Structure 1
Amino acid sequence: MAISGQFMVLVLVCLAEACYGIITFSSLQRTLMVTASPSPGQVLKAGEDLITVTWSYNQSFPAGTDSAYKTVKVKLCYAPISQVDRAWRKTVDNLAKDKTCQFKIIDKPYDPSNNSFTWTVEKDVPTAIYFIRAYALNSEGHEAAYGQTTSADKTANLFEIQSISGRHMSLDIASACFSAFSVVSLFGFFFLEKRKAKMSQQK
């Protein structure tokens, strides 16, 4: 009996997962020390304010623990208070399905010390409470360790970002001017039509 192509693809995917295994957040060591410039409770504006992030290897771990680290991925993450009743932000232990950290700040080659980056909060970041997390990735691009600016329960050192409202004074002024012009044009049109009709009657 012939085996369909879709079934073969499914088998290959399952074999690949079985060979490498699922990466879970709970299996990672917190070997990175991460700090960020926002103070606890500070409110930042999307598209305007800056965040400076610094990170390094925690030297309290045995030498060589970071030997497999090849790159570091720094991300902006939702705090639990901003995940309530929002399945699209849900925290899942399986990192392939986790939606906690959706905004990339920077990816760069791993260096155990003296890492810093200043990021402008992007315009599409929604209003929410956040923290910052850094992942150390191995040569296969899989998470091998992490560090974050908050506590394990993600309740300390949180900050807020307010999104762009979407309305600007210049747009409101332009809209008002356009509306006024439309009204004047409409009255002008009726006046000309009425005048033409009157002139036609006089002939």
Structure 2
Amino acid sequence: MAPRLLAGSLLTFCLLAESCYGTVLFSTLQPTLVVSASPKEGEVLRAGDDKITVTWGMNQSFPVGTDEAYKQVKVKLCYAPISQQDRAWRKTNDDLSKDKTCQFQIIVRPYNSSSQQSFDWMIERDVPTATYFVRAYAYNSDGREVAFGQSTDGQKKTNLFDIQGISGRHASLDVAAGCFSAFSVLSLFGFLFLEKRKAKTSQKS
């Protein structure tokens, strides 16, 4: 009897824990934030060179108090569907703990209900070539996502922009290669000069 009671208690505890600390599904979040990004639709930006201005704030069409639990906002750069095709490492998942849509964090700030916030973000050098949009998540005091907003529509088809990643060799590598080549040439001339002197010395002796 005791083992059955223990098993039942453990099952109840696990169910309660899952309901309290279970994963957050994107489909359950309200789109209460208004988010915009400065790039025009179809614009091509360069990683490491260009900036994106992002703006976010509460959608005033929602009732007063909707954002009472919002404590923090995280703004992220996200892959558009066209850049997720055949790329499992960028796959969208309704379970936000497994979602790989938004892999680049732009800014984290305390939530401000009184006014819109903005931030100028220099595109980081490790951002790969792809098509993107911007999304913001609102978090509660437990650090769980409770709302969102994004710079595109629900189907993620509008207001998309491209980023051209850095490819090829870095400039510092070219400089290093040039220095190494120059050193190699000087070393070769030095070697030939010494060999020539040795040959002359041998002939005299």
Same fold at TM > 0.5: yes
Secondary structure in 1 matching 2:190:
helix
Secondary structure in 1 matching 2:177:
helix
- 1:13 is displaced (CA, Å) by 9.1
- 1:166 is displaced (CA, Å) by 4.6
Q: Name the counterpart of 2:126.
A: 124
Q: Name the counterpart of 1:3.
A: none
Equivalent in 163, 166, 184 of residue 182 of structure 1: 184
Supply the distance in 2 between the matched residues of 1:13 and 1:194 (Cα, whole angstroms).
85
Amino acid at match of 2:25: T
Give matches, 1:12-31, under 5 Å.
16-31=17-32
Q: Which runs of 4+ in 1 moved over 6 A?
A: 12-15
- 1:102 is displaced (CA, Å) by 0.9
Kindly indicate whether residue 105 of structure 2 is the aligned counterpart of residue 104 of structure 1: yes
CA deviations over 1:98-144 (Å, ceiling 9, x no partner):
11111111111112332111111112211111100000101101000
Shift in CA distance, 17/201, structure 1 to aligned 2, threshold 3 Å: farther
- 1:147 is displaced (CA, Å) by 0.3
Amino acid at match of 2:69: A
Any stretches of 5+ residues in structure 1 without a counterpart?
A: 1-11
Q: How many residues end up aligned between the 2 structures?
A: 192
Secondary structure in 2 matching 1:23:
coil
Shift in CA distance, 152/176, structure 1 to aligned 2, threshold 3 Å: same
Does the aligned pair in 1 maintain the 2:58–2:116 contact within 8 Å? no
Shift in CA distance, 14/176, structure 1 to aligned 2, threshold 3 Å: farther
Secondary structure in 2 matching 1:56:
strand
Supply the distance in 2 between the matched residues of 1:145 and 1:20 (Cα, whole angstroms).
17
Q: When the two structures are superposed, what TM-score results if normalisation uses the length of structure 1?
A: 0.84
Q: When the two structures are superposed, what TM-score results if normalisation uses the length of structure 2?
A: 0.84
- 1:25 is displaced (CA, Å) by 0.5
Equivalent in 195, 198, 205 of residue 196 of structure 1: 198
Supply the distance in 2 between the matched residues of 1:110 and 1:88 (Cα, whole angstroms).
30
Q: Name the counterpart of 2:145.
A: 143
Supply the distance in 1 between the matched residues of 2:25 and 2:71 (Cα, whole angstroms).
19
RMSD between superposed Cα atoms in Å: 2.3
Q: Name the counterpart of 2:33.
A: 32
Supply the distance in 2 between the matched residues of 1:190 and 1:142 (Cα, whole angstroms).
70
Q: Name the counterpart of 2:70.
A: 69
Supply the distance in 2 between the matched residues of 1:119 and 1:173 (Cα, whole angstroms).
29
Shift in CA distance, 155/182, structure 1 to aligned 2, threshold 3 Å: same
